[in-house]
Structure 1
Amino acid sequence: MKLKDFSNWLDKLLDPKSFKDYCVDGLCIEANDQVTKVVTGVSFRDRLIDAAIEEKADCILVHHPNGFWKNEDRIPVGHYGERLRRMFQNGISLYGYHLPLDGHMDIGNNALIAKAMGLSVVDGFMFEGEKPVAVIAEFDTCVSKEEFLACAEKAFEHGVQNALLYGSNQIHRVAICSGSGASGIEEALDLGCDAFITGEIKEAVPITCEELKFNLIHCGHHRTEIFGVRALADKIQNELHIPAKFVDLDNPI
């Protein structure tokens, strides 16, 4: 498939122009004019380049386009220059899709976390631009805190990192924002949520949960964001018939 056609397909699917993001969303490195095999991963890093070379892929697609965030120094020297050199020498193009791959209601991280938890998405929240990046989802019937944790342990391969369970024992309505999404706690409370699922938290979050009597679990920034790039690899393979493979290079944070 021609690279420009692949770009158009991705942009139509993920609609990056509707999001106000703080990194490049779309093509970051154009090292080839064709796409014949794709590797997807959470973050652009040396070992993902190694995997792409081993797989003989000519395209990498990531959620975190490290090196292409706003305000980063993009002068191609040092380690960053070495990465670019390897990509061009091996004819590997790079795409990054950040918030669009959180908020997508079919293959987005948050919608897929809800599905894995046995929840049904009912709304979006935490708007960044024209679209939300997080979801509100509900259980068919209320569950206890213990049942809620059991669902999370099943949904996430590495389980729950911390459970801050200061709120109601009856959990029905759940806010989900993968990655570092705990800034949405107060909005989730205003929307009537009983609990919040996210990836990574800051020091003040346990205090906020205690004082606002709220339930929150976090399961790892990387580990809550494998869902979108994994689903996207399947979609590329099934719909475009281009070989695509998700490579999980775990990061405990």
Structure 2
Amino acid sequence: MNNLQLEKVLNELLSPQLIKDYAPNGLQVEGKAEIKRVVTGVTASQALIDKAVELNADALLVHHGYFWKGEPEPIRGMKGKRIRTLIKNDINLYGYHLPLDIHPELGNNAKLACLLEIEVEGGLEGHPQSVAMYGRLKQPLSGKEFADRINQVLNRVPLHIAPEDGDKIIETVGWCTGGGQDFIELAVSNGLDAFISGEISERTTYTAREMGIHYFSAGHHATERYGVKALGEWLAREHELDVTFIDIDNPV
């Protein structure tokens, strides 16, 4: 497949034009014209790029790419090394951030819900493009039982901040993968029993305790593995590309 055609296919699927984002979505660094082998991963780190080089990839498809709003513009240091490696090896870099969080089937939020057995009911912000979701557990669980499920599914022990009534059973859940901790108050205002995000802030602890909601910090990387992996599997299935998902360890 031609590299520009691949961008068109991904844009048609993910509709990045419908959401305001913090970085450009699509082809971020142009490489060779013909793409047969694709490596997918969460973040375009040097380790992931080196793995793509090792596997003779024509393209690297990630959730966290480059050129974030507010970051220094010069291509030097760590950023320069990453981009030089891509250009030297003629590797295309595609990045899809919020469009990959919110996609109703392949998105990070959708995949996390499926893994944790949450039935999706809607967007927490009240519209289909919401980056935070809410739903209902197929079976009510205690806080400890739900923490155990997260650990089992994500292979990561979540940080569980229980409400002052720590025995509160969880039936309804809100979630936002990655850095979505500040949606917790919206989850409370919607009467939910629990909220999950990847990251936690110092203030999140007190919000959960004082506002009566279970909170689970399950890791930014850990909660965002599954969207880009599913996207790569879709490309392999629908467009017969050779796709390999690489999970670079990240404890955050």
Length-normalised TM-score, structure 2: 0.94
Displaced runs of 4+ in structure 1, greater than 6 A?
none
Alignment: residue pair count = 250
CA distance, structure 2, for counterparts of residue 127 and residue 75 of structure 1: 39
CA distance, structure 1, for counterparts of residue 230 and residue 155 of structure 2: 16
Q: Which runs of 5+ in 1 are unaligned?
A: none
* Residue aligning to 1:150: 148
Structure 1, 142-151 or 205-214: larger mean CA deviation: 142-151
Q: Does structure 1 retain, via aligned residues, the 8 Å contact 2:185–2:207? A: no
User: 1:51-90 to 2 correspondence within 5 Å?
Assistant: 51-65=51-65, 67-90=66-89
* Residue aligning to 2:157: 159
Q: Are 2:70 and 1:35 equivalent residues in the alignment? A: no
Residue deviations 1:53-83 (CA, integer Å, cap 9, x gap): 1111010111111x41012223223332222
Counterpart of 1:35 in 2: which secondary structure? coil
Q: Which runs of 5+ in 2 are unaligned?
A: none
CA distance, structure 1, for counterparts of residue 82 and residue 201 of structure 2: 31
Partner amino acid for 1:232? L
Counterpart of 1:217 in 2: which secondary structure? strand
Residue deviations 1:91-135 (CA, integer Å, cap 9, x gap): 10101111111111101111111111111111012479x711121
CA distance, structure 2, for counterparts of residue 127 and residue 251 of structure 1: 32
User: 1:1-253 to 2 correspondence within 5 Å?
Assistant: 1-65=1-65, 67-126=66-125, 131-160=129-158, 162-166=159-163, 169-253=168-252
CA distance, structure 2, for counterparts of residue 105 and residue 148 of structure 1: 23
Residue deviations 1:184-205 (CA, integer Å, cap 9, x gap): 0111112221101111111111
Q: Does structure 2 retain, via aligned residues, the 8 Å contact 1:223–1:250? A: no
Q: Does structure 2 retain, via aligned residues, the 8 Å contact 1:29–1:94? A: yes
Partner amino acid for 1:99? L
User: Cα–Cα, structure 1 residues 236 and 140, in superposed 2: closer, same or farther, change >3 Å?
Assistant: same
Length-normalised TM-score, structure 1: 0.94
CA distance, structure 1, for counterparts of residue 182 and residue 77 of structure 2: 34
Q: CA RMSD in A?
A: 1.6
Q: Does structure 2 retain, via aligned residues, the 8 Å contact 1:118–1:151? A: no
CA distance, structure 2, for counterparts of residue 230 and residue 31 of structure 1: 22
Counterpart of 1:123 in 2: which secondary structure? strand
